[in-house]
Structure 1
Amino acid sequence: MGSEALAIAYGVGSALTWGAADFSGGMASKRGNVYAVVLFSQFVGLFFILALLGATGEEYPGASTLIYGGLAGLSGALGLICLYKGLARSPMAVVAPVSAVVTALLPVLVAVILHGLPPVLQIAGFFLALVSICLVSWTRQSVRIRQEDMLLPVLAGMGFGGFFVGIHYAGYSGFAWPLLSAKIVGLTVLSLVLGFKLRGQSLGHTPWRWILWAGILDVAGNGLFILASQTGRLDLASVLASLYPASTVLLAWRILKERMTGGQWVGMATTLAALALISMG
């Protein structure tokens, strides 16, 4: 299997895994305190990375790897905070697709500036992938989009896109260490913000099984993204990984028997078409 095919396989694997992590986090949040779920799953991810580091015996990297990893963790944590604030203040039908598309667009712009345009078929595939992200993420809500509803989703997408860029450059000289530095910085920021919100709140029932899955799958998705961006272009890895909402929606349809809209089914078909074009590029 060539490097391009490997990059596509890793990118698709990252989307599937991240989507499953989001589904697991959603299941945990239905049963417990959402802030506690986020923090506990992040701690699970930290312990999983430490175990991975011990198993691989990866050499201590240079300072640039840790710096890029830390910046990725900071950017991702800020993106998550903006996402939660956006979901609390604005319609999900606006927040979800806007943040997902911006997440994919930012690394694409960085890759184009630094490395030039990808092949024409892949550009077409990227465009279809962005369309599919919108279709799959859109809910049944009928909403009027206001200008003030756009800021937090855009900031969330920039945060997640910044994570993609940072972890890509951190991954040039390592695998587990970039994940660890990103997780430590991100967890520190989230602990400061969400820990404050948890003060005085009852944690209630803690759904550990789903929290464990969310934490482990999130790290697995991060690792697969690093592999995808190491073996292929940053824009290809980022666009493919940003298809993760399709995985979440499919799991909700299959396991929870949630109904999918016609637009979401079209989005699934568009996802397959995008993958075909990207593979032929």
Structure 2
Amino acid sequence: MSALGLGLIAALAWGVHDICVRYVSQRAGILPSLATVLAAGALLVLPVALWLGDWPGMTMQAYVFSGLSGVAFGIAGYGLYKAFEIGPVRLVAPVIGAYPVLSLAAAGLDGEPVTSAQWAAGLAVVAGIALVAMLIGEGEGNGSRRAALTWALLGAAGFALTFAAGQHATRAGADLPVLLVTRATAIAVILPLILLRTEALRGLSRQMPLLLLMGALDAVALGAIMVAAPLQNPEFAAVAASTFGIVTILLARVFLGERMSLGQWGGIAVAFCGIGYLAI
């Protein structure tokens, strides 16, 4: 399978996962929910990684970058959950899905050639997101628009670093061990935050079946991107995965009844056309 195909699988899995995040974040504590999702995904990966993983092929560099990817993934996950808690989905999903623009900027700073057309596509993504944000009233969602955007931007930055470091780790080691180490590190980042905060485990048990499903979807999505590392144009997997926002927004329209104005649809179309061009 191509890197682009793996990215589309990740997009579908994360799209369903994120609409579940919006539901769960209204009914259970964010940190305990995120820790449960990460742990469920890790338990799903553990037996496969121990049985089929090429652990002798893991180098010190692979462990270091896996750890960095895990730290970024934990931060990104918290940003995503907070953003979806505040919402609305049609605002935060395009922002989080714009992480390829950050990946493009990082590639340019790293000396990789970035064409003017690619920069134009990146600016189109930013312009589309800005249009969606401007057309959403301050009172919509469960908090301020500025707070939602801030957490969404943190999530986008975290995901950009997660995928870049994770694919680097996979090239220096092996995919399944990298995936397990990444998730274990993300859990290690979140657990101290649970201990530092007195966030109650409110409603966690009632949401457990959904959280376990989210853990499986998250593991499949992240695994698809990591597996793409040795393929041609592995960055296409991360870029294609960013279209998860389309799935999330459509599901929010169907199941949450979030209405969209014509201008907001136009902004989303511009943003995702830019993302789509980066995947070509």
How many equivalent residue pairs? 274
* TM value normalised by structure 2: 0.77
Give the Cα–Cα distance (whole angstroms) in 2 for the partners of residues 177 and 136 of structure 1: 39
1:214 CA displacement:
0.9
1:254 CA displacement:
3.1
Paired position in structure 2 for 1:39: 35
Paired position in structure 1 for 2:25: 29
Paired position in structure 1 for 2:182: 182
Name the stretch that deviates more: 170-179 or 112-121: 112-121
Distance 1:139 1:252, change over 3 A: farther
Confirm whether residue 213 of structure 1 aligns to residue 213 of structure 2. Answer: yes
Distance 1:29 1:265, change over 3 A: same
Give the Cα–Cα distance (whole angstroms) in 1 for the partners of residues 126 and 228 of structure 2: 18
Match of 1:207, SS?
Answer: helix
Give the Cα–Cα distance (whole angstroms) in 1 for the partners of residues 168 and 137 of structure 2: 38
Gaps of 5+ in 2: none
Give the Cα–Cα distance (whole angstroms) in 2 for the partners of residues 204 and 155 of structure 1: 25
Q: Which amino acid aligns with 2:177?
A: W
Confirm whether residue 74 of structure 1 aligns to residue 71 of structure 2. Answer: yes
- Superimposed CA distance per residue, residues 253-272 of structure 1 (whole angstroms, 9 cap, x where no aligned partner): 23444433324433554466
Give the Cα–Cα distance (whole angstroms) in 2 for the partners of residues 90 and 21 of structure 1: 15
Q: Which amino acid aligns with 2:160?
A: G
Confirm whether residue 170 of structure 1 aligns to residue 169 of structure 2. Answer: yes
Match of 1:231, SS?
Answer: coil
Give the Cα–Cα distance (whole angstroms) in 2 for the partners of residues 250 and 137 of structure 1: 17
Paired position in structure 1 for 2:265: 265
Superposition RMSD on alpha carbons, in Å? 3.7
Give the Cα–Cα distance (whole angstroms) in 2 for the partners of residues 174 and 59 of structure 1: 7
* TM value normalised by structure 1: 0.77
Paired position in structure 1 for 2:112: 116
Name the stretch that deviates more: 176-185 or 116-125: 116-125
Give the Cα–Cα distance (whole angstroms) in 1 for the partners of residues 85 and 19 of structure 2: 19
Gaps of 5+ in 1: none
| Contact in 1 for aligned 2:93/2:248 (Cα 8 Å) | no
- Superimposed CA distance per residue, residues 16-66 of structure 1 (whole angstroms, 9 cap, x where no aligned partner): 221221122223334433332212111101101103314534334122112
Paired position in structure 1 for 2:225: 225
| Contact in 1 for aligned 2:66/2:165 (Cα 8 Å) | yes
Paired position in structure 2 for 1:8: 4
1:13 CA displacement:
2.2
Name the stretch that deviates more: 239-248 or 120-129: 120-129
Paired position in structure 2 for 1:65: 62
Q: Which amino acid aligns with 2:159?
A: F
Name the stretch that deviates more: 226-235 or 179-188: 226-235
Paired position in structure 2 for 1:252: 252
Give the Cα–Cα distance (whole angstroms) in 2 for the partners of residues 228 and 128 of structure 1: 26
Name the stretch that deviates more: 65-74 or 234-243: 234-243
Percent identity, aligned pairs only, is: 23
Q: Which amino acid aligns with 1:187?
A: I
Give the Cα–Cα distance (whole angstroms) in 2 for the partners of residues 228 and 136 of structure 1: 32
Q: Which amino acid aligns with 1:186?
A: A
Paired position in structure 1 for 2:160: 161
Distance 1:261 1:154, change over 3 A: same
1:8 CA displacement:
1.9
Give the Cα–Cα distance (whole angstroms) in 1 for the partners of residues 187 and 31 of structure 2: 12
Name the stretch that deviates more: 25-34 or 270-279: 270-279
1:170 CA displacement:
1.1
